[in-house]
Amino acid sequence: MQRLKIVFSGPMGAGKTQAISSLSDIPVVSTEVKNTDLDTNSKLLTTVGMDYGELTIEGGASIGLYGTPGQERFNFIWPILSQGALGVVILIDHSAADPVADLKNYLQKFNDIYGGRIVVGVSQVDKMPERPMSLYRDYLSSINSNIPLFPVDMRKREDVLLLVESIITSLEQS
Ligand SMILES: Nc1nc2c(ncn2[C@@H]2O[C@H](COP(=O)(O)OP(=O)(O)OP(=O)(O)O)[C@@H](O)[C@H]2O)c(=O)[nH]1
Ligand SMILES: [Mg+2]
């Protein structure tokens, strides 16, 4: 049987590991180690291999949830993980120094390696509520992109589900 999968990518601290933990029906397999790249992000732990969880959807099908590491030096794993994926969720940390540059970087790189469905989740919005969502929408319209973008909190299961449903719905329509 062909395994269904969805990949979560995005910069360090965006909430990829959290997203998979919030959504998975099984205990998540993570490869987190102590973060030594404190210049990029002050978080305590960071993913160096991948995260893996599973979500069982209506009808009993099971979707594998894969999280990439956020550190750029592990980029080589992106094409491997996203091969054959139903879709890729790009998570952006709204409170980062330049989140629009992060979005641009991730969209450009995935454009080169992945031809399937992409949705964007903007997380950590509560940490910088004064920064407007229009930054991202303006950027997406400037490149004529109709990629869906949602403000989300990865600690909330329903927010992660929204991203996943956005991928699945688009498949049903195509
Ligand atoms: N305040 C706030 N915290 C969030 C939000 N989304 C996720 N988090 C928290 O942010 C922290 C970092 O999330 P992780 O899931 O470790 O981030 P990651 O993307 O896996 O990071 P790397 O593995 O280092 O690339 C966790 O403690 C999450 O619970 C959000 O919307 N708001
Ligand atoms: Mg992680």
Residues 28-40 have a mean pLDDT of 92
pLDDT band per the 50, 70, 90 thresholds, residue 174? low
- Measured by CA distance, the residue closest to atom 4 of ligand 1 is 124
Residues 86-114 have a mean pLDDT of 97
Query: Under DSSP, is residue 82 helix (H, G, I), strand (E, B) or coil?
Result: helix
Q: What architecture (CATH level 2) is domain 3-173?
A: 3-Layer(aba) Sandwich (3.40)
Pocket mutation for ligand 1, best pick of 46, 102, 155 (most atoms within 8 Å of C-beta): 155
Query: Under DSSP, is residue 34 helix (H, G, I), strand (E, B) or coil?
Result: strand
Task: Decide whether any atom of ligand 1 lies within 6 Å of the 164 Cβ.
Answer: no
Q: Is the pLDDT of residue 40 over 60?
A: yes
- CA 30 / ligand 2 centre spacing (Å): 8
Q: What b/e sequence results for 129-163 when a residue is b if at least 16 CB atoms lie within 10 Å of its CB, and e otherwise?
A: eeeeeeebeebbeeeeeeebbeebbbeeeebbbeb
* C-alpha to C-alpha distance for 14 and 137, rounded to whole angstroms: 18
pLDDT band per the 50, 70, 90 thresholds, residue 60? confident
pLDDT band per the 50, 70, 90 thresholds, residue 109? very high
Domain ranges of the chain: 3-173
What pTM, to 2 d.p., does this model score?
A: 0.95
pLDDT band per the 50, 70, 90 thresholds, residue 165? very high
pLDDT on residue 43: 92
Which strand (E) or helix (H) includes residue 105? helix 99-113
- CA 44 / ligand 2 centre spacing (Å): 11
**What percent of the chain has a predicted confidence (pLDDT) above 70?**
98
Residues 122-151 have a mean pLDDT of 97
- Measured by CA distance, the residue closest to atom 24 of ligand 1 is 46
* C-alpha to C-alpha distance for 55 and 65, rounded to whole angstroms: 7
pLDDT on residue 1: 47
Task: Decide whether any atom of ligand 1 lies within 6 Å of the 93 Cβ.
Answer: no
